[in-house]
């Protein structure tokens, strides 16, 4: 069963017909059909054009475009149109507009200008969602609902009085009593003891650092407040159109929203991905976020937006060179997307996104962009059979949003240099380079299907999560500054690694961050179990972070050499569990050893040339050459390249920016 009732892979993009005359629509649908577009996202920012005054709807234009699209065989991902509240709502209820941490109410004139807790906003969205659902419930073009748009993009949080009231309700539900809250927030510190709920406020701009427990709860609340907006609309859609799948477009590895919770509320996951063509690490970063998307519901997802070429919101917007749009699109398919969609179909002539690329550029059809759009449409059709197939990963990287929020709290940590996305990438990149399939997982998921589980960091770790890790029978690797605090951001009794102490067989006596620009030498040492170093490199370098460890029943795999921690353990092992008390420049030696002992290899079974990415999806092996030189890749089996139809065996030479999809 696919994501929607459209067969095969989805191909299309955001379409904003309200920006064009109806003559242009005719050309649009004709060209869409020519390119093989089978779905478009419509009405994302259309609230002010659909509801022109409270309860006064003008659906005429949307009726006509939906009919026209359907007549040309194009399905519709219909937005509920609630991403930007209309001017009349904002003027009637100025408190719909969000307020920043310094107390400034933000003006109308951009988009996503709403306070997530505003009753007027929520009522307005639900009314519009109902009107949309009732109007289009039987429209044959409707195949999916797109609620809001990129929640948390411009508006992540709002600090207004209405949000403060909502936050208090949320806190009351979490803690029940003020005593509970005072104790969880540790308000005995800095004289913050609360005696009435009305005294509580969002972490607005204050003279100094705000209580980190308050900030952590604020992050939880803000993610939940936006989710409540999504859920309010979803409820209406499910009531009126129970069989139409519902999604909202995620924003890759986004700090502010707990996507495990969000994904559970949607029928399928969709993502907007904008890897920077100027960033050499872009393919690896994209792969990480695609693997997250696949892992969120452990099933295929949808690349709902990507840029055909340049975006318009970076300081310098570099286009995609010929072939890169195709390569990046195939990459999303390789990692489990059931389609390739773009922002947007036709390039805008006005507004902030007029220089953002589109499938159909300003220059029309006699352009490189259009030719690449046509060619990609044909490739996507050739790969139709990939839809619905899944990936089996033997390695999982743990990601927990609450821990991430705690780790990156402002002004209260031993170092603010530990950033979760970089930590994830530092493990993910070498796995990706080896062609090893990786899932992301929350620390409380059943992990028994994996051979190797890596927690790059679990600053916040509860006893339940620790018990889940202890029950994992495979190879576990835990990164530094883990098991430090509980769910209330209070340091575990006895200090780090708190509930992980027995599992790791050690205590962290002191955190020892390394000043910027300095390094600390680390050297591998003989593993008593083998009589030889477990790590295949003698010299390693730590940067940014180290720890004074005291071992209980773990042994050292590597120790610091020189410096303040000279001779102390840096990397340790207890049974099948490895702990790193520092950030190593190169994780390869640790990873090699763990993967070798676990018997985990890349999907091709052979080493990959630099720049080549390999992913297996069902019976398909995607080989993508992101490098600048042709690469020869040994094949694990004979088969057919679905992109060219040619038979392949032995090995294949892949030109730069080219790809092979081997069916075997």
- Residues binding ligand GLA: number (CB under 6 A): 10
> With left for phi above 0 and alpha for psi between -120 and 50, is residue 23 left, alpha or beta?
alpha
Give the containing element (helix H, strand E) for 583: strand 583-584
Between 162 and 305, name the residue whose CB sits nearer to ligand GLA: 305
Q: Which stretch binds ligand GLA (CB under 6 A): 220-228, 303-311, 533-541, 642-650?
A: 303-311
How many Cα neighbours within 13 Å face the side chain of 322?
6
Between 200 and 307, name the residue whose CB sits nearer to ligand GLA: 307
Encoded tokens for 240: 């009126």
d(CA 462, CA 663): 44
Minimum CB distance to ligand GLA, residue 44 (Å): 6
Minimum CB distance to ligand GLA, residue 306 (Å): 9
Q: For residue 60, give the 3-state DSSP assignment.
A: helix
Encoded tokens for 275: 């890897």
Between 45 and 579, name the residue whose CB sits nearer to ligand GLA: 45
Minimum CB distance to ligand GLA, residue 357 (Å): 9
Minimum CB distance to ligand GLA, residue 350 (Å): 14
The answer to whether 7 and 88 have CB atoms below 8 angstroms apart is: no
Residue 385 touches ligand GLA, criterion: CB under 6 A? no
Site residues for ligand GLA, window 321-350 (CB under 6 A)? 343
Between 305 and 489, name the residue whose CB sits nearer to ligand GLA: 305
d(CA 611, CA 630): 10
Binding residue (CB under 6 A) for ligand GLA from 178, 254, 311, 662:
311
Minimum CB distance to ligand GLA, residue 272 (Å): 4
Smallest CA-to-CA distance from 589 within 518, 522, 494, 635 is with 522
Minimum CB distance to ligand GLA, residue 282 (Å): 15
Minimum CB distance to ligand GLA, residue 346 (Å): 13
Residue 185 touches ligand GLA, criterion: CB under 6 A? no
The answer to whether 360 and 347 have CB atoms below 8 angstroms apart is: yes
The answer to whether 245 and 4 have CB atoms below 8 angstroms apart is: yes
Provide the residue count of the chain: 664
Cβ partners under 8 Å of residue 419, min gap 6:
407, 408
Residue 658 touches ligand GLA, criterion: CB under 6 A? no
**Burial profile 411-422: b = 16 or more Cβ within 10 angstroms, e = fewer:** eebeeeebebbe
Measured between alpha carbons, how far is residue 496 from residues 188, 299, 411 in Å?
22, 36, 20
Q: Which stretch binds ligand GLA (CB under 6 A): 119-127, 286-294, 305-313, 445-453?
A: 305-313
Residue 89 touches ligand GLA, criterion: CB under 6 A? no
Q: At what angle do helices 212-240 and 161-175 cross, to 10 degrees?
A: 100
Between 77 and 486, name the residue whose CB sits nearer to ligand GLA: 77
The answer to whether 274 and 306 have CB atoms below 8 angstroms apart is: yes
Binding mask 36-55 for ligand GLA (x = CB under 6 A): --------------------
Minimum CB distance to ligand GLA, residue 368 (Å): 20
Between 110 and 541, name the residue whose CB sits nearer to ligand GLA: 110
Minimum CB distance to ligand GLA, residue 649 (Å): 41
**From the candidates 150, 233, 266, 402, which is the catalytic residue?**
150
Binding mask 90-129 for ligand GLA (x = CB under 6 A): ----------------------------------------
User: Tokens 């550029």, residue?
Assistant: 361
Residue 305 touches ligand GLA, criterion: CB under 6 A? yes
**From the candidates 51, 162, 266, 305, which is the catalytic residue?**
305
Smallest CA-to-CA distance from 477 within 452, 460, 497 is with 452
Smallest CA-to-CA distance from 406 within 492, 339, 487, 344 is with 487
Minimum CB distance to ligand GLA, residue 358 (Å): 10
Between 348 and 374, name the residue whose CB sits nearer to ligand GLA: 348
Between 129 and 307, name the residue whose CB sits nearer to ligand GLA: 307
Euclidean distance between the first and the last CA atom of the chain, given in angstroms as a whole number: 22
Q: Which stretch binds ligand GLA (CB under 6 A): 171-179, 304-312, 396-404, 644-652?
A: 304-312
Minimum CB distance to ligand GLA, residue 533 (Å): 48
Smallest CA-to-CA distance from 157 within 96, 99, 205 is with 99
Binding residue (CB under 6 A) for ligand GLA from 18, 353, 592, 607:
353
Residue 88 touches ligand GLA, criterion: CB under 6 A? no
Residue 320 touches ligand GLA, criterion: CB under 6 A? no
The reply to whether 172 belongs to the active site is no
The answer to whether 648 and 640 have CB atoms below 8 angstroms apart is: yes
Between 18 and 353, name the residue whose CB sits nearer to ligand GLA: 353
Smallest CA-to-CA distance from 397 within 226, 585, 587 is with 587
Residue 356 touches ligand GLA, criterion: CB under 6 A? yes
Is the previous residue joined to 650 through a cis bond, with omega within 30 degrees of 0? Answer: no
Between 272 and 394, name the residue whose CB sits nearer to ligand GLA: 272
The reply to whether 150 belongs to the active site is yes
Q: For residue 502, give the 3-state DSSP assignment.
A: helix
Binding residue (CB under 6 A) for ligand GLA from 28, 51, 77, 150:
150
Smallest CA-to-CA distance from 558 within 596, 594, 584 is with 584
d(CA 97, CA 156): 13
The answer to whether 326 and 375 have CB atoms below 8 angstroms apart is: yes
Residue 593 touches ligand GLA, criterion: CB under 6 A? no
Between 8 and 275, name the residue whose CB sits nearer to ligand GLA: 275
Residue 151 touches ligand GLA, criterion: CB under 6 A? no
Site residues for ligand GLA, window 490-519 (CB under 6 A)? none
d(CA 623, CA 425): 21
User: Tokens 């700090």, residue?
Assistant: 255
Binding residue (CB under 6 A) for ligand GLA from 38, 112, 149, 482:
149
Binding mask 271-290 for ligand GLA (x = CB under 6 A): -x-x----------------
Q: Which residues are catalytic?
A: 150, 305
Residues that bind ligand GLA (CB under 6 A): 149-150, 272, 274, 305, 307, 311, 343, 353, 356
């Amino acid at each position: 069963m696919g994501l929607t009732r459209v067969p095969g892979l989805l191909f299309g993009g955001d379409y904003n017909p309200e920006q064009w005359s109806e003559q242009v629509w005719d050309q649009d649908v004709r060209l869409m059909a020519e390119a093989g577009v089978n779905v478009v996202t419509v009405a994302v920012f259309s609230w002010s054009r659909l509801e022109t005054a409270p309860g006064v709807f003008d659906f005429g234009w949307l009726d006509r475009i939906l009919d026209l699209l359907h007549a040309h065989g194009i399905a519709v991902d219909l937005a509920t149109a609630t991403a930007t509240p209309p001017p009349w709502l904002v003027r009637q209820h100025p408190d719909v507009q969000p307020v920043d941490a310094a107390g400034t109410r933000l003006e109308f004139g951009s988009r996503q200008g709403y306070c997530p807790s505003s009753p007027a906003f929520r009522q307005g969205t639900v009314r519009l969602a109902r009107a949309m659902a009732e109007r289009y419930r039987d429209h044959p073009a409707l195949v999916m609902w797109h609620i809001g748009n990129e929640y948390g993009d411009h508006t992540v949080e709002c600090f207004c009085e209405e949000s403060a009231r909502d936050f208090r309700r949320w806190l009351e539900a979490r803690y029940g009593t003020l005593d509970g809250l005072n104790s969880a927030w540790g308000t005995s510190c800095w004289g913050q003891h609360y005696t009435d709920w009305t005294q509580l406020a969002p972490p607005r701009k204050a003279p100094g650092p705000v209580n980190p427990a308050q900030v952590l709860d604020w992050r939880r609340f803000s993610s939940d407040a936006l989710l409540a907006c999504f859920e309010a609309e979803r409820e209406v859609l499910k009531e009126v159109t129970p069989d139409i799948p519902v999604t909202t477009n995620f924003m890759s590895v986004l700090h502010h929203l707990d996507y495990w919770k969000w994904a559970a509320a949607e029928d399928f996951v969709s993502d907007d991905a904008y890897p920077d063509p100027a960033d050499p690490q872009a393919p690896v970063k994209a792969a990480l976020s695609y693997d997250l998307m696949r892992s969120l519901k452990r099933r295929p997802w949808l690349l709902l937006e990507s840029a055909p070429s340049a975006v318009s919101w970076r300081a310098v917007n570099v286009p995609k060179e010929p072939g890169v749009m195709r390569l990046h699109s195939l990459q999303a398919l390789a990692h489990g997307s059931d389609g390739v969609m773009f922002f947007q179909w036709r390039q805008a002539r006005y507004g902030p996104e007029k220089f953002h690329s589109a499938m159909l550029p300003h220059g029309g059809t006699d352009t490189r962009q259009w030719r690449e759009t046509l060619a990609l449409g044909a490739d996507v059709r050739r790969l139709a059979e990939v839809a619905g197939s899944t990936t089996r990963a033997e390695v999982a990287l743990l990601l927990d949003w609450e821990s991430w929020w705690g780790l990156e709290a402002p002004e209260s940590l031993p170092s603010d240099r530990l950033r979760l996305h970089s930590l994830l990438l530092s493990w993910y990149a070498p796995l990706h380079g080896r062609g090893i399939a990786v899932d992301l997982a929350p620390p409380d998921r059943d992990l028994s299907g994996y051979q190797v589980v890596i927690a790059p960091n679990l600053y916040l770790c509860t006893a339940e999560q620790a018990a889940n890790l202890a029950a994992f029978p495979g190879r576990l690797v835990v990164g530094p500054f883990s098991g430090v605090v509980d769910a209330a951001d209070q340091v575990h009794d006895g200090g780090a690694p708190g509930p992980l102490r027995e599992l790791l067989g050690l205590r962290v006596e002191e955190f020892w961050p390394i000043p910027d620009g300095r390094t600390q030498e680390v050297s591998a040492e003989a593993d008593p179990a083998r009589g030889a170093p477990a790590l295949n490199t003698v010299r390693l370098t730590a940067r940014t972070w180290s720890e004074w460890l005291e071992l209980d029943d773990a042994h050292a795999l590597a120790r610091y050499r020189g410096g303040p921690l000279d001779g102390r353990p840096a990397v340790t092992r207890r049974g099948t569990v490895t702990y790193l008390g520092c950030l190593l420049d190169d994780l390869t030696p640790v990873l090699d050893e763990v993967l070798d002992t676990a018997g985990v290899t890349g999907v091709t079974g052979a080493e990959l040339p630099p720049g080549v990415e390999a992913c297996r999806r069902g019976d398909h092996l995607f080989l993508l050459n992101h490098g600048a030189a042709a690469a020869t890749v040994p094949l694990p089996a004979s088969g057919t390249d679905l992109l060219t139809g040619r038979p392949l065996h032995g090995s294949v030479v892949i030109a730069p920016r080219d790809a092979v999809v081997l069916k075997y």
